[in-house]
Amino acid sequence: MKYFSLVFLLTYFCITSNAQQGKTTLEIDKRFHDFGKIKEDGGKVRALFTFKNTGSKNLIILNAEPSCGCTVGEWTKDSIAPGKTGTVTAIFDPKNMIGIIDKTVGVYTNAAYSTVVVLELRGEVVPRDKTLSDVFPYRVGNLMFDKEMMELGEVPHNAADSAYIVMFNDGQYPIKINNITSLPKGFRIRPEKNVIQPSEEVRIYASIDAYTINDFGPFNKTFRLITDDPEYNEKPLFLFGHIKYNFGRMSKKEIKASPKFSIDNTSKDFGEKQVGTEAFTTFKITNKGKNNLKILAVKAQCSCTEPSINKTELKNGESAVLTIKFDMLGHAGSIQKIITIYTNDPSKPTVDIMVKAKLY
């Protein structure tokens, strides 16, 4: 956009330098346009501005540049003779632009005292009326949900947390939840009620007791509501979040005495390997801090990388060996995978290791 502005300004200077015998002037019917209140789904709206040539030379509208991509200027491209008029049309699209409108269009001309005219667009975009599908976009049979995934966010390892989603019965008959498929220890799903009447909204709560789960890092669980809905009786839903080690508020003394994670390398390039082969590599982990270092978890990005460690708690100066098996079956070309180590070192609660190869 800046490039085009420069081009048009240079064009303007060329024009004015050639017109030494006099310059034109202009008048505008208005400097701003108020759209008033417009609906978000009402379609594009237009504001027309009229430019009159009040001088003795031809008036040229060089460019009409909007303040952002939501306004597009259309203007008279031909020279405007003395006494004649031209127009600039500003187009505004209200879609996804809810709220107060405060936009401008800069109009570049060859007029003596109006080389840049700033036109203003004002108004307010009113949100469109939401449909049932807007509120509950995820549908399975006659049950609609405001979302299909329950997000628990970051959960401290020694705490509990919960979240909920809302379901809506869009059918003509009550729908009963007969069962909910099981989740691992520490996770629980509980609906507000087991029978949802037609046109009724009911919440489903998900909770996690992280202190009962011996795990760290991201989790993504799937469960199903088993219902008597004749259209589709199983409703798949998802639960995700991240369990993180809670260090709390540490004193300077505690920080100084904390474990210190150290590793001899954080990447391994296997180079060229044949598709379907396996490769192994090792990394040496050492505790350089005063307190014991705990390897809380080692998580692979995919099943093709299989990590194992010979020791998960290290005293000061002790080391452990992390072995990674890289299975290259089912891959092609250049691949790289991440393995994440979770520790109780407050300065390095997570450490990423990368393994990569070029397959042929």
Percentage above 90 pLDDT, the chain:
82
Which residue, among 37, 55, 57, has the nearest Cα to 45 in the 3D structure? 37
Which residue, among 66, 33, 70, 35, has the nearest Cα to 50 in the 3D structure? 33
* C-alpha triplet 109, 111, 117: angle, nearest 5°: 55
Average pLDDT over every residue of 313-318:
96
CATH code given to domain 2-126: 2.60.40.10
Report the pLDDT value the prediction gives residue 13, as an integer from 0 to 100. Answer: 45
Q: Which residues pair with 87 in a beta bridge?
A: 50
User: How far apart (Å, rounded) are the C-alpha atoms in residues 87 and 94?
Assistant: 22
Which residue, among 103, 98, 91, 100, has the nearest Cα to 128 in the 3D structure? 98
Give the model's confidence band at 337: pLDDT under 50 very low, under 70 low, under 90 confident, else very high. Answer: very high
Domain boundaries, the chain: 2-126, 132-244, 259-359
Report the pLDDT value the prediction gives residue 285, as an integer from 0 to 100. Answer: 98
**Do 2-126 and 259-359 have matching folds?**
yes
Report the pLDDT value the prediction gives residue 189, as an integer from 0 to 100. Answer: 96
Domain spanning 259-359: CATH 3.30.530.20? no
DSSP summary character for residue 86:
E
Average pLDDT over every residue of 28-57:
94
Report the pLDDT value the prediction gives residue 51, as an integer from 0 to 100. Answer: 96
Report the pLDDT value the prediction gives residue 9, as an integer from 0 to 100. Answer: 45
Report the pLDDT value the prediction gives residue 56, as an integer from 0 to 100. Answer: 92
Using the structure block, give the residue that is written with the tokens 């799937």. 222
Q: What is the pLDDT of residues 129-145, one digit of tens each?
A: 889 999 999 999 999 99
**Percentages helix, strand, coil for the chain, rounded to the nearest 5?**
10, 55, 35
Structure token pair of residue 112:
């003596």
Give the model's confidence band at 240: pLDDT under 50 very low, under 70 low, under 90 confident, else very high. Answer: very high
Q: What is the pLDDT of residues 185-211, one digit of tens each?
A: 999 999 999 999 999 999 999 999 999
Report the pLDDT value the prediction gives residue 326, as an integer from 0 to 100. Answer: 93
User: How far apart (Å, rounded) are the C-alpha atoms in residues 155 and 218?
Assistant: 10
Cβ contacts of 71-79, under 8 Å, gap ≥ 24? 71/103, 71/104, 71/105, 71/121, 73/105, 73/107, 75/107, 76/51
Q: What is the pLDDT of residues 72-111, one digit of tens each?
A: 778 999 999 999 999 999 999 998 899 999 999 999 999 9
Q: What is the pLDDT of residues 146-173, one digit of tens each?
A: 999 999 999 999 999 999 999 999 999 9
pLDDT of 347 strictly over 90:
yes
pLDDT of 12 strictly over 80:
no
Structure token pair of residue 42:
């009402």
Average pLDDT over every residue of 204-233:
95
pLDDT of 291 strictly over 80:
yes
Report the pLDDT value the prediction gives residue 164, as an integer from 0 to 100. Answer: 96
Q: How far is CA 71 from the centre of its chain?
A: 25
Which tops the pLDDT comparison, 9 or 137?
137
Q: Which residues pair with 209 in a beta bridge?
A: 160
Report the pLDDT value the prediction gives residue 86, as an integer from 0 to 100. Answer: 95
Q: Which residues pair with 333 in a beta bridge?
A: 359
Which tops the pLDDT comparison, 54 or 73?
54
Structure token pair of residue 212:
């009962």
Which residue, among 108, 42, 46, has the nearest Cα to 72 in the 3D structure? 46
Judging by beta carbons within 10 Å of its beta carbon (0-12, 13-18, 19+), is residue 130 exposed, middle or buried?
exposed
- What are the E-state strand segments in 24-98? 26-28, 32-39, 45-53, 61-66, 71-75, 85-92
Report the pLDDT value the prediction gives residue 330, as an integer from 0 to 100. Answer: 80
Q: What is the pLDDT of residues 292-308, one digit of tens each?
A: 999 999 999 888 999 99
Average confidence score pLDDT of the chain: 90
Report the pLDDT value the prediction gives residue 112, as an integer from 0 to 100. Answer: 87
Report the pLDDT value the prediction gives residue 214, as an integer from 0 to 100. Answer: 86
Of the candidate CATH numbers 3.40.50.10090, 3.40.190.10, 2.60.40.10, 3.40.50.1100, the domain formed by 132-244 belongs to 2.60.40.10
Mean pLDDT lowest among 32-46, 64-78, 226-240, 293-307: 64-78
